[in-house]
Amino acid sequence: MRLGQGGLVDRDRHLGFRFDGHAYEGLEGDTLASALLANGIRLVGRSFKYHRPRGILTAGSEEPNALVTLGRGAAQEPNARATTVELRQGLEARPQNAWPSLGVDALAVNDLLSPFLSAGFYYKTFMGPHRIWERVFEPAIRRAAGLGRLSQEVADLQFEKAFAFCDLLVIGAGPAGLMAALTAGEAGADVILADEDFLPGGRLNAEREEVGGRSGAGWAAEAVTRLEAMPNVRIMSRTAVTGVYDQGTYGALQKHPAAAGRPEETFWRIVARRAVLAAGAIERPVALANNDRPGVMLAGAVRSYLNRYAVAPGRRAVVFGASDEARRTAADLRRAGVHVAALVDARERAETSDFATYAGATVERVLGREVEGVAIRLGNGREERVQADLLAMSGGWNPNVHLSCHLNGRPVWDESLSAFLPAPGAVPGLIPAGSCNGAVTTAACLAAGREAAARALEDLGLKATAPDLPEAEDRDPQARPIWVVPGKGRKWVDFQNDVTTKDIELAARENFRSVEHMKRYTTQGMATDQGKTGGVTALSILADATGRSIPETGTTTYRPPYAPIQIAALGAGGEGRGFAAERFTAAHPVHLAMGAPMVEAGLWFRPSYYPRTGEKTWRQACDREALMVRETVGVCDVSTLGKIDVQGPDAAAFLDFVYSNTMSTLKQGKVRYGLMLREDGHIMDDGTCARIGPDHYLVSTTTAAAGEVMRHMEFAAQVLRPELDVHLVSVTEQWAQTAIAGPESRDLLNEVLDSPLDPGTWPFMACGAVTVGGVPARLFRISFSGEHAYEIAVPARYGESLFRQLVARAEARGGGAYGMEALNVLRIEKGLLTHAELDGRTTAFDLNLSGMMSKKKDFVGRAAAGRAGLLADDRPRLVGIRPVGAVRQLTAGAFLFDPETESTRENAQGTVSSVAFSPTLGHFIGLALLKEGPERHGETVRMVDHLRRVSTLCEVCDPAFFDPAGGRARD
């Protein structure tokens, strides 16, 4: 019910919203929770396990009960806390985890069955046949569990991430945080003030308290105005600091008020040289019978609704606590016109007041499905019942130590406060201040904020001017903790997960005595509030049950995030094509224009084939392209291969060290095929190495390994051989490279070169400078197809033009462009290798390349490759296979067996790494790794692909199927 006056809401701005299908009105400045309470709504949700009806318990992000689904359709948002949702015009909220309706929930039957559903019951039953568990019990449990529902649709969610840097991050804009920000701001520090709420001020907005001679909220507003005027201070409202990471990195989630084009949220990574933790404290419920009923609310939340939102959460209230705050709550209620039926103070010496005070008494039980009254146990043992529709309770406050524990620091128990406090130095550079550090009055919070900022400024080498402290409340409320009220009945500790005191006691009896065991066994603290409301209470119960003190019992670990974060925020940028960069070669537009399907390799996009009219399958195009290369000429974009420029006086010595074969003997103007090993003796990559000057080489790598090879070479140069004077620069992006392959490749090349090639000076494996259309280019006479072939590299700006024209001229000769599919066929016909064979597990020995392992020098991987196990005869080694039986098909990923044996692991002889249909040979060919392979040429083996149901008899043969002597490439 909305009060006639007061509050920090704008009474002129009415906002229409819907909840559970009904239309309501609230005010600007409301949360969804305050607006619901203003409209007299008490029942807002259902609990997780027993589906108990639930109301609003808190006024903050720790709310365990009032979780709702916002919106409809693809973008609907489950599990929003009504207590933090800022009300806006047109907001639609729906209850969740209730069927058929919030009022009548079929699964509420679980509540009746609760004796059989105690902690860990599921570990003790459903042990029958697996299928029954998986088909009957598990689906039933899954359906009953869970809270809200994802839309299961793709929504256009707008989230973003950003970085921020500051001298001082102040976490929380309550009295301590505001004072810290003022102190640091006035000293000229670069300050970020982050506050979870949409209205800075913290508890100052919720209490009727004077600060500096005016209302606390008024002082907070004025402090914000002062801070806003400082150019060195950034105020981030609606920003929850969610995690602490190493070296002063903080995660923070900022929500933005809705507006067109604006992201919903920004996830910030804030790098702060120092931080002040002013995160306040969280009030805890008292474990008393039926304390989860709608109408039971934390006393501090009651004051928030009364004073900040001008909403009365009930008409007739009982206040229960053990601190002078109880009278404050009662007074605030009375002032708002709510009848205070009883003030129950567990302390023997309660404050005297004119309320119906029960000193030394407890509220033992809540009466009614929604609060209708309470049973009070008096000091003399008698019970008295009082009618009420609101119970405002407080078991005390838990300092909000969460963030101080993210780097594994454990909070320290303070006996006088009966509370855990941040361990000093738990997070380097983070200074706790205010009520999160045990301050219990506003005056102490203000002073602590100023002092913490002064300490931070000193660390930063800045001078604090120390602004004056405003006068504020400094009376200690003489609080005493109340954990559990004795008596019968179920007392909730974790409201959402339906963990009661009995569950914790049962866990202790069953030897789940470690706090971690208790948590995992009962699910206490694993709900959406992560134990913020009930955690310390649960500890106290476990401590009692196991005869230990609370500090002896210990705490569970606090883990990020402090408040849950939507995956869309942490993963912003990953949606759609944003997950990784797309790399396009210069000739990309030509591939697209020719209709080539593009495939991805190492972030690059490469054409698989170029379909022509009349071709119905990729194979037809691929066969044509491969034959074209064998018969006339083909043109292929090979720009994606890595290219590393190696220069320096010691370039040759360096390459001898990183290649297994020798590059120092390579003559200028020549290219050599090379192998690079990892230090463990296995092949890392292969490629060509061209010597283009006395101290100047060009190394090529496979497309996907380019980055890894560069890093490896930099390691070798800087760490392993720092005495060598050598420079490595990637020039992959600089050059667009095109392969021209086939009997007519030289003729085609001569059409475009400024001066024709002299065959005498351009033998196989030659390289050198040429010009094409007046543009300086690099030419390499190398072949990955077995044909007479070249690769020509031009600066990337000319790549598209060159490729386009080469394709046109090749087509005029009856040739044309060929893609990755044909490239693969051509190289398999020649028994040449790709990543299918160089899969990180193979050695030079395995691939019949032992001859490339120089015996005359040290090189990376030399020693390890010499291990006996890597030279064993029974290792799978490279062979060719071709079908010889009725079945003609080969498939990659199949296994090889002796024809007579069963296809089992024990009998496996090898695997097929690459296959292709060879249009040149008219049948399938394959490369395989076969035990003792090179000794088995001519044998018959059976290829079995269980998955694709193919079984083929094959002959083992030399992997070079076509032109094994290599004459075509050399001639």
Q: Interaction with other proteins in 442-501: which residues (CB under 8 A)?
A: none
| Of residues 241, 279, 237, the one with CA closest to residue 432 | 279
Q: Does 679 bind other proteins (CB under 8 A)?
A: yes
Residue closer to other proteins (CB basis): 308 or 402? 402
Q: What are phi and psi of 433, to 5 degrees?
A: -150, 145
Residue closer to other proteins (CB basis): 219 or 610? 610
Question: Beta partners for 191?
Answer: 168, 233
CA dihedral sign of residues 825, 828, 834, 835: positive
Report the site for other proteins in 773-812 (rule: CB under 8 A). Answer: 773-775, 794-802, 805
395-403, 454-462, 466-474, 714-722 -> range binding other proteins (CB under 8 A) = 714-722
Distance CA 555, CA 540 (A): 10
Which position among 581, 759, 761, 938 is part of the footprint of other proteins (CB under 8 A)? 581
Which position among 814, 866, 899, 967 is part of the footprint of other proteins (CB under 8 A)? 866
| Of residues 431, 436, 78, 83, the one with CA closest to residue 282 | 436
Shortest distance, position 457 Cβ to other proteins, whole Å: 17
Shortest distance, position 941 Cβ to other proteins, whole Å: 15
Structure tokens at 908: 């496996």
| Of residues 220, 170, 175, the one with CA closest to residue 442 | 175
23-31, 55-63, 444-452, 902-910 -> range binding other proteins (CB under 8 A) = 902-910
Shortest distance, position 210 Cβ to other proteins, whole Å: 36
Q: Does 78 bind other proteins (CB under 8 A)?
A: yes
Question: Beta partners for 698?
Answer: 645, 690
| Of residues 533, 223, 569, the one with CA closest to residue 398 | 533
Distance CA 505, CA 257 (A): 45
Q: What are phi and psi of 44, to 5 degrees?
A: -125, -15
Do strands 373-377 and 362-367 pair parallel, antiparallel, or not at all (unpaired)? antiparallel
| Of residues 408, 395, 410, 430, the one with CA closest to residue 279 | 430
Which position among 455, 480, 678, 923 is part of the footprint of other proteins (CB under 8 A)? 678
Shortest distance, position 755 Cβ to other proteins, whole Å: 7
Which position among 39, 88, 111, 121 is part of the footprint of other proteins (CB under 8 A)? 121
Q: Does 889 bind other proteins (CB under 8 A)?
A: no
Q: Does 855 bind other proteins (CB under 8 A)?
A: no
Contacts of 269 (CB under 8 A, 6+ apart): 161, 162, 163, 164, 249, 250, 251, 252
377, 304 contact by CB (below 8 A)? no
CA dihedral sign of residues 886, 890, 893, 896: positive
| Of residues 822, 67, 849, the one with CA closest to residue 497 | 67
Question: How many residues in total does the chain contain?
Answer: 971
Shortest distance, position 175 Cβ to other proteins, whole Å: 28
- Residue 414: count other Cβ atoms within 10 Å of its Cβ: 14
Q: Going residue by residue from 609 to 648, which x/- string records binding to other proteins, judged by CB under 8 A?
A: ------------------------------------x-xx
DSSP at 166: E
968, 788 contact by CB (below 8 A)? yes
Give the chain's end-to-end CA distance (angstroms, integer).
95
**DSSP for 466-506, written as a single string:** -PPPPPB-----------B--SSS-BEEETTTTEEHHHHHH
Distance CA 549, CA 547 (A): 7
Which position among 77, 86, 195, 625 is part of the footprint of other proteins (CB under 8 A)? 77
Shortest distance, position 700 Cβ to other proteins, whole Å: 16
Question: Is residue 750 within a helix (H) or strand (E), and if so which, with residue range?
Answer: helix 745-752
Residue closer to other proteins (CB basis): 752 or 953? 752
Which position among 369, 475, 841, 937 is part of the footprint of other proteins (CB under 8 A)? 841
Report the site for other proteins in 908-937 (rule: CB under 8 A). Answer: 908, 911, 913-914
Which position among 47, 58, 65, 76 is part of the footprint of other proteins (CB under 8 A)? 76
Q: Does 143 bind other proteins (CB under 8 A)?
A: yes
| Of residues 732, 729, 723, 700, the one with CA closest to residue 654 | 723
Q: What is the 3-state secondary structure (H, E, C) of 575-599?
A: CHHHHCCCECCCCHHHHHHCCCCEE
Distance CA 271, CA 251 (A): 9
318, 363 contact by CB (below 8 A)? yes
| Of residues 252, 191, 565, 569, the one with CA closest to residue 403 | 252
Report the site for other proteins in 393-452 (rule: CB under 8 A). Answer: 406-408, 428
Residue closer to other proteins (CB basis): 89 or 125? 125
Report the site for other proteins in 500-539 (rule: CB under 8 A). Answer: 502, 506, 509-512, 514, 516-517, 520-521, 523, 528, 530
775, 795 contact by CB (below 8 A)? yes
131-139, 292-300, 394-402, 445-453 -> range binding other proteins (CB under 8 A) = 131-139
Residue closer to other proteins (CB basis): 162 or 921? 162
Shortest distance, position 753 Cβ to other proteins, whole Å: 7
Q: What are phi and psi of 224, to 5 degrees?
A: -65, -40
316-324, 359-367, 711-719, 740-748 -> range binding other proteins (CB under 8 A) = 711-719
Residue closer to other proteins (CB basis): 98 or 433? 98
Q: Does 572 bind other proteins (CB under 8 A)?
A: yes
Which position among 16, 72, 165, 694 is part of the footprint of other proteins (CB under 8 A)? 165
Residue closer to other proteins (CB basis): 600 or 935? 600
879, 930 contact by CB (below 8 A)? yes
Give the binding-site size for other proteins (rule: CB under 8 A): 190
15-23, 26-34, 410-418, 705-713 -> range binding other proteins (CB under 8 A) = 705-713
Q: Does 198 bind other proteins (CB under 8 A)?
A: no
Residue closer to other proteins (CB basis): 578 or 967? 578
Report the site for other proteins in 217-246 (rule: CB under 8 A). Answer: 243, 245-246
Q: Going residue by residue from 19 to 48, which x/- string records binding to other proteins, judged by CB under 8 A?
A: -----------------------------x
Q: Does 61 bind other proteins (CB under 8 A)?
A: no
Q: Does 163 bind other proteins (CB under 8 A)?
A: yes
Residue closer to other proteins (CB basis): 763 or 866? 866
| Of residues 456, 403, 457, 405, the one with CA closest to residue 431 | 456
Residue closer to other proteins (CB basis): 105 or 389? 105
Residue closer to other proteins (CB basis): 8 or 890? 890
Question: Beta partners for 957?
Answer: 880
Which position among 106, 112, 136, 162 is part of the footprint of other proteins (CB under 8 A)? 162
Residue closer to other proteins (CB basis): 382 or 855? 855
Report the site for other proteins in 98-117 (rule: CB under 8 A). Answer: 115-116
Residue closer to other proteins (CB basis): 289 or 794? 794
| Of residues 771, 779, 808, the one with CA closest to residue 635 | 808
Residue closer to other proteins (CB basis): 152 or 613? 152
What is the gyration radius of the CA atoms in the chain, in angstroms? 38
Which position among 574, 669, 885, 966 is part of the footprint of other proteins (CB under 8 A)? 574
51-59, 70-78, 762-770, 878-886 -> range binding other proteins (CB under 8 A) = 70-78
Question: Beta partners for 952?
Answer: 943
Which position among 125, 665, 668, 901 is part of the footprint of other proteins (CB under 8 A)? 125
Q: Does 888 bind other proteins (CB under 8 A)?
A: no
CA dihedral sign of residues 364, 367, 370, 372: negative
Q: Does 946 bind other proteins (CB under 8 A)?
A: yes
Q: What is the largest CA-CA distance in the chain?
A: 116
Which position among 61, 418, 540, 585 is part of the footprint of other proteins (CB under 8 A)? 585
